Amino acid sequence: MSTDRLPSDPSDAAPGTDIVVYWRPGCPFCWNLFRQLDKHEIVHRRINIWDDEQAAATVRSIARGNETVPTVTVGDVGLVNPSVKEILAAAS
């Protein structure tokens, strides 16, 4: 049995912290992250990198030239395939 708990409540995120999830269709890791973010009621924006070249460029700049998704930005912090815990830690 997992006792995996989040270290903080989503409301602990710094006010105005912008969480953006860069994703692409067909990515099971993206859908898993979306489910977790929704489950914990973490407010975020989703940007499909196949529809937005600037978003794809942002992902490449964070993921060492690759278009690895999910990539998440929390303010100025970039995270590649992060857990919800990592996102909340970056947001606090």
Q: Does any domain span residue 40? A: yes
The domain of 67 spans: 17-91
Number of domains in the chain: 1
Q: Answer yes or no: are the C-beta atoms of 18 and 44 closer than 8 Å.
A: no
Which pLDDT score is estimated for 92?
Answer: 86
Q: What is the CA radius of gyration of the chain?
A: 13
pLDDT digits (tens, 9 = 90+) for 28-53: 999 999 999 999 999 999 999 999 99
The confidence score (pLDDT) of residue 26 equals 96
6 in a domain, yes or no?
no
Can you tell me which residue has the tokens 């990515």? 27
Of 2, 22, 41, nearest in space to 81 by CA: 22
The CATH number that applies at residue 86 is 3.40.30.10
In a domain, residue 29? The reply is yes
pTM, full prediction = 0.83
Secondary element (H or E) of residue 5: none
On whether residue 3 sits in a domain, the answer given is: no
| C-alpha dist (Å) from residue 35 to 19, 41, 65, 90 | 15, 10, 27, 19
Cβ distance 45 to 19 under 8 Å?
yes
Answer whether residue 2 is part of any domain. Answer: no
Dist. CA 91–CA 15, nearest whole Å: 9
